[in-house]
Amino acid sequence: MRTEAEAAGPPLEPGDFVQLPVPIIQQLYHWDCGLACSKMVLRYLGPLDDGEFESALQELRLTRSIWTIDLAYLMRHFGVRHRFCTQTLGVDKGYKNQSFYRKHFDTEETRVNQLFAQAKACKVLVEKCTVSVQDIQEHLAQGHVAIVLVNSGVLHCDLCSSPVKYCCFAPSGHRCFCRTPDYQGHFIVLRGYNRATGCIFYNNPAYADLGELQSHGSDLLDNLVASPACSSLPNPPLNPAARP
- Return the ∠ at Cα 110 (arms to 109 and 116), rounded to 5°: 90
Domain range for 112: 15-237
Is residue 163 assigned to a domain?
Answer: yes
Is residue 89 assigned to a domain?
Answer: yes
Is residue 156 assigned to a domain?
Answer: yes
Is residue 9 assigned to a domain?
Answer: no
List the CATH number of the domain containing 136: 3.90.70.10
pTM: 0.74
β-strand partners of 213: 200
- Rounded to a whole number of angstroms, the distance between the first and last alpha carbons of the chain is 40
Note the residue count of the chain.
244
pLDDT in tens, the chain (244 residues): 444 444 444 555 657 899 999 999 999 888 899 999 999 999 999 999 999 999 999 999 998 888 899 999 999 999 999 989 988 888 766 655 555 555 666 677 888 899 999 999 999 999 988 888 888 999 999 999 999 988 777 776 676 645 554 444 433 333 334 445 566 778 999 999 998 888 888 898 987 765 555 544 333 433 332 222 233 444 433 222 222 2
- Return the ∠ at Cα 197 (arms to 191 and 200), rounded to 5°: 20
CA pair distance 65, 168, nearest whole angstrom: 13
Is residue 3 assigned to a domain?
Answer: no
